[in-house]
Structure 1
Amino acid sequence: MSTRAGNPFSQRAVLGMVLFGAIAFLLTLYFIGMDEMGNNPNDSGGHASAEGLNGYAALVQLMERRGHTVTVSRSEGDLANTGLLILTPPHGAKGEDLARIVEARRYAGPTIVILPKWMASALPKDQKGVKQGWVELYGPQLPNWEGFADDVTVALGESNTWRSAHFSGKLPAHDHVLSGSSPALVPLVRDGDGQHVLAGFMQDDGYYSGLNVIAGVDQFSGGDNEEIFPLIFVFEPDLLNNYGMANRSNAMLAEELVDAALNGEDGPIYFDLTQNGMGRSMNLLTLAFTPPFLAATLCLIIAAIVVGWRALRRFGPTLAEGRAIAFGKRQLVENSAGFIRRTRRLHLLGPPYATLMRKRIARTLGLPWQEDSAAMDTRIDAALSARGVHQTPFHALTEKLGHARSQNELLRAAEALKNVERMLGR
C-alpha cells in the first residue's frame, strides 16, 4: 500500500516564481529595447557619459544638481527637441552632419559645441587602483570638420589662465590650449592675456541678450530676430570637461554659460551621444520604452492590472465627468493679454512694470522706498555703481520702458530690467 505524496511547492512559492518570471521577462524586453545589454558607455571617449579626464560626466551631474532637466541622449530624434543641446563631437565627426544638426536647430533651441582636443585611451583594468572609465591622455589633436563652420579657425597655443566677464581660473594643461577666431565670433572666455578666444558665440541676425551680458557688450546689440537661437563654441574643452571641472571657477563658468544660452529660462538640456558612435537603433521595443510611447506602454500595463483586479470585484457607480477645459489662472492671463493687444494699449503696461521692478530691485539692494520715481532711480543707480555693476544706467532703462510703444520695444526694455535683477541675484 502506498500513500499519496504531498505537493512539494506551496501556493505562495508558485505565485512568487510566476511573478519573478514575469518581472524578469519584462526587464529583459526593456534592456533589449534600450540596447543596454552589456554596453557600458563609460569608456575612454570625450562625451557626457565618460568619467575620464576628457569626459563630461561632471558637467552632467552639475546641471542635474542645479535643477535642470538633463537628458543624456542616444537618439537622433532628440536633436530637434526644444531646449539646450550640448554637442561633444569626436575628432572624426563629419562636418556635414554637424552643419545639418546646427542648422536644423536655429528655431528649436540654443546649441553649444565643445571641440575635442585630447587623444586618449583607457587604462588597463588590471592596473592597481584603476577605475572604470579612467584614461591616459597622449596629447592634443586639432579637429578637422570640413563643411561645418569653415569660417572659424582653430589654433593650438599656450596659456596658464582663462578669464571671462565674471570669473577666472587656471588651465590644467597650460601648454596645450585650443582657441578659435572668426570675424563673426563674439568672445565669452579669453586666455589670461586676452589675446585668444577660448569660447564665444556666432553673431548673426539673432538677438541674444543673455550672451551679450556675459560677453561684456551692449545687451541691445546684435540682430532683431528673436525667433532664432545662438550657436556657441567652446574651443578649449578643459573649461568644461572632467579635467577642468575639478576647479570651482570652472563649475561657475559652466553654470553661467548654460544660463546665458537659455537666456535665464529653465529649459531642458540634452547631451548628445549619437555623434560619439553611441546612437541607439530604433525598433518596436525601443519605441515602446521611449517617450512619447513610454506613456502608452505604462498605461497599457496599468490598465491590464486594473482590469484583472476589477474582474474580481463589482464595479462602482458611474462618476460624473468633469469639465474638459477647466478655467484657471493661465487662461485668465491669456484672456487679459489678448484683450490688451486687441485694444492696442500695450504702452500702458510699461510704467506699472517699471514701478514693480523698481520696488523689487530696491528691496534686493536694501533701499528704503520713495514714491518719487526719479529720486528712487538715482538711489538705485548709486547702489549699483557701488556694487561694481557696470551697465546701462537704471534710470535710462526705466525711461526706455516708459516710452516703449511696440511689443518688441516693450519686451526688450522689460528684459533689460529683468537682467539687472538676475545679476543682483548671482
Structure 2
Amino acid sequence: MTSKKSRKVEPDLNGTLEQRALARLIGNRRTGYDPFYKTNYEYSIPSPGRYHWQWFWDSCFHIIALARLDPKMAIAELETLLIPQREDGFIGHLTYWGRRGAAMSVIYGQSRMGEWRRRHSGMIQPPVIAHALEELWIQTGDSTLLARFLPKVRAFYKWLGRERDSDGSGLIGIVSPYEAGTDNNPSFDRALGVSNPGRARILWANRKLDWYNIFRGGNFDYRTAIKRNRFVVIDPFMNAVYADAWASIEKMHTALGEDQLAASAGKYAACTTDALNERCWDDQRGHYVYLHGAEQLPDTTLSVGAIFPLILSGTPKDRIASVMERFVTNPDHFWRPFPIPSVAASEESYDAESEAMIWRGPICMNLNWLLARGFKSHGYDDESKTISERSKEAAFKDFREFYSPETGRGMRGTLFGWATAAVAIDP
C-alpha cells in the first residue's frame, strides 16, 4: 500500500493544530517501570487535571492522532496498551500503571476480584483498537506493524464475540454504562433505574452497579448479568464500532495475504451488521434503538447510538439516506452549529452546556472521527467536511473533553488527549 506519511511535525503549543496536538500529547506523556509486569510503560494520560491513568479508548484515539504526528509515540502507546492483555484476549478499560497500581485498582473498585495486582479493570470500553492499528498502518505504510500487533488485536475481538455475544446473534452486550464509554447517556437511564437524574444520583447508581458486578455479577460476567437481569444493554453504538472494527481487521489480514483470516473477519462484520439492522432497527421511528435487559426491550431515546450503524458498509443505502435526511442533517436533531451532539436536540434530556452530566448533548472528537469517516465512505462528503472543519475549529481553541454543539465552547476535562483526534478527522 501507499504510505500517507506526512511531513515531520514539531511540537508547539502556539503553532498549527497539528503542532499543538503533538505538544499536548507530549505534555500528557507518562513513562516508568511497572513492578508487576516487570516492564517499562509509555502512554499519554487523558488529562493532567482529572484522569491520571491509561484508559483504553482514550489511548486508541491518542494512537490515531499520533499516527500522523509521531508514529514512534503511537507504537509505544499501543505496546503499553497491550501489555496487560490476558491470555484469553481480554483487555480492561483502565490500567493503573506503576508501583501504586495494585492499591489504585482496589480503591477505584472496578477490577475483577482477585486481579488487583494486574492493575486493570474488569470492564471493557468501545473496541476501537483495530481502528487505531489500521490508522497507524495507513499513515506509516509499515506492514510489519500488522504482523506484530494484529494477532493480539484480533484476540481481543474474539474475546468479545465469545464472552459478550451470549446467543450467537452477532450483537455484543454491556454490563455497565462505563463500558460504552458514554457514561451518562440518557439511553441508559431506564436500565439503571433512574429518571431525570442529577449528577450525584447517577454517580451513585453507577457505583452501586460496579459493586454489584464484582460481588454478585460474577466479576463483570455477561452471562451472569443476563441471568440476574441487573443491567444488560445491547448498545447500537458499541455494536457499530465492533462491526466496523472487524471490517478493519479484514482489510489488515488481506494486506498480509491471510485470506482465511480475512474471510472470517468479514463474516463477523457482516453478522453484526445484519443483526443491528434486524434487531435494533425501529421501522416506525426510523432510527436504531438500544435493547434493555434479558428481554431486550427497546429504548427509543434519540442519542448518538441511534444513528451510529450508518458508519457500516453493509447498512442498506435507503436506510442510510433516510436517517441522514430525517435526523443527522436535520437541525432539530443532530445538525447543530457544531455537529454531532451526543444526544439529539429534540430530546428532553438534551443539555448542550452540561459539564456535570456528561454525554447528554456535548460533542466529542472521538465520535466525530468515527462518524465523519463513516459518512464519507457512503459519499456524504459535504457532511464529513463540515464535521471536520467545525471539529478542528473547536479543538484549535483548546483541547477539551467535550465541546458545546451550539457554540463550540470547550468543556469539562482540560488539556485533553483525545481531543487531538481532531487532526485525523479528514474533510
Q: TM-score range by the shorter chain?
A: under 0.3
TM-score (norm 2): 0.27
- The higher radius of gyration belongs to 1
